[in-house]
Amino acid sequence: MDPAEQRIEGPFGDHTGYYSLPVEYPVFHLTAVTRRREPLYPTIIVGRPPMEDYWLGKATERLFLPIIRMVLPEVVDMNMPAEGVFHNLVIVAVRKRYPGQVRKVMYGLWGLGLLMLAKNILVVDEWVNVHDLSEVTWRVTNNIDPARDLVLVEGPMDDLDHAALRHRYGGKLGIDATEKRAPLDQVGQSWPEEIRMSEEIRRRVTERWREYGLG
């Protein structure tokens, strides 16, 4: 585009919840305006999430998951929560079978289309419900050793990322929150078993609920 066709614009409100930074963007020239009776004007309201555009992003996530699994078959499920405004946080559950597989998934996602803009990729085990942010937070804060499980890289960033090193380029973080067990993972201590209530105990407690004075 001819430099004469560019100008500094901003601020405008965006889906990130912040006003856009002033940078050069293409402009268009309006030559005519037409209208009709009872018009329909398709638009959405954006701003600090969740807003209307979040549901478009969630639909895109569900539509593209099968395509992602064609390239990365170990991916079980993924979630891009509203708080991450699509590209700032991608939570992925993977079926881990060999050393380095989690990092392979991170790099693979960063190489897939607009997922190259993902700022944070958080990887959990296949049995973790990626849509339950409470469970994800519990797994992550328990399972990571920052000295071992954080991956820092640099690459393309979203056009609206105001925290990037510079416009459209910055750092990315990968977090391996999967369980680390020998011999698959080189760990210096054994990995504990998760506390789980048996079905028998659940049944007995349910049957005696009133007896405990709780019903």
Q: Where are the domains of the chain?
A: 52-199
Return the pLDDT at 12: 59
User: Which class is 52-199 in CATH?
Assistant: alpha beta
- Please state the φ and ψ torsions of residue 83, each to the nearest 5 degrees: -60, -25
129 contacts 154 by C-beta, under 8 angstroms: no
Catalytic annotation, pick one of 2, 14, 159, 161: 14
Return the pLDDT at 2: 52
Q: Which residues of 23-44 are buried (b: 16+ CB within 10 A; e: fewer)?
A: eeeeeeeeeeeeeeeeeeeeee
Return the pLDDT at 64: 95
Structure tokens at 138: 């519990």
Count of alpha carbons within 13 Å of 183, Cβ hemisphere only?
A: 0
Per residue in 23-57, pLDDT tens?
Answer: 887 888 999 988 888 888 888 888 888 888 888 88
How many helices and strands (H and E) does the chain possess? 5, 7
Clarify whether 14 is annotated catalytic: yes
Return the pLDDT at 4: 47
pTM for this model (two decimals): 0.84
Return the pLDDT at 97: 95
Return the pLDDT at 188: 83
Q: Which residue positions in the chain have pLDDT lower than 50?
A: 1, 3-10
Distance separating alpha carbons of residues 105 and 94, to the nearest angstrom: 8
